[in-house]
A and B are shown apart, each in its own frame.
Chain A
Amino acid sequence: MIRKFVGAVAAALAVLAGLWLMIAPFALGTQPEDADWTDATTTEFFTGLGVAVVGLLGVIAFVLAIYETLVVRGLVVPKPKAEPEPEPEPAPAPPQASSAELASLLAPLVEALREDLNTPSRPGGEHRQNGRGSLVGVEETR
């Protein structure tokens, strides 16, 4: 456990050293501006790049190794992988009234309308208007 931690710290420091190597020629002024890279700059930059990449790989490897050790010792419980949610079942279609039920429901209304249409117009030109009195009252006075 300790050795893995030491390895992770060393690798992290190596990452920093690699980054420094990449910028050192420009920070120290050994690379003239507006000129091709010198041999020293090329060497330092690409060596630093390699050191940084290898150091990063080392950090990742040691951190994963530490995590593995913690899981084996039971100090860390790995999260269960989220299973894909099952597709929701389509909701059952609401029961639709059959046309026969609908017809039986509307039959009294149709009958009342037909009766109303067949009734001769009232004497005196009285017309029932919407919005005046309740329909029930008008029907009772008829």
Chain B
Amino acid sequence: MRAKVGVTALALLFLGGLWLVAAPFAVGYQPRGDEYADATVNDLWVGGGLAGLGFVALVIYAADALRELASRGKHADV
């Protein structure tokens, strides 16, 4: 149950990272065609890192859970 809360948090962090990447253009403080402002650069880097971190953590979590399931299946066959 507690791990589910943690996984939900990771998913939200992943979505938050995506939002940060899109925010400069969605909110409109980065004019189109102009050079990227400092705030835009910061948002892109932090948002991209956050989304990547959340994605990698979710993938590792899922892979380890699948590995455990497969291990249980092997033991059940024996």
Contact = CB atoms under 8 A, between A and B. Distances in A.
Interface SS of chain A: helix, strand, loop or mixed?
Answer: helix
A8 B3 CA distance: 10
Contacts of A62: 2-3, 6
A65 B9 contact: no
A43 B10 contact: no
Interface string A12-29: 011001001100110011
Interface residues of B, number: 35
B60 A3 contact: yes
B39 A51 contact: no
B2 A50 contact: no
Contacts, number: 112
B46 A21 contact: yes
Interface stretch (A52-60, A71-79, A101-109, A132-140): A52-60
Interface residues of A, number: 37
Contacts of B27: 39-40, 43
B61 A6 contact: yes
Most buried by B among A3, A4, A13, A20: A3
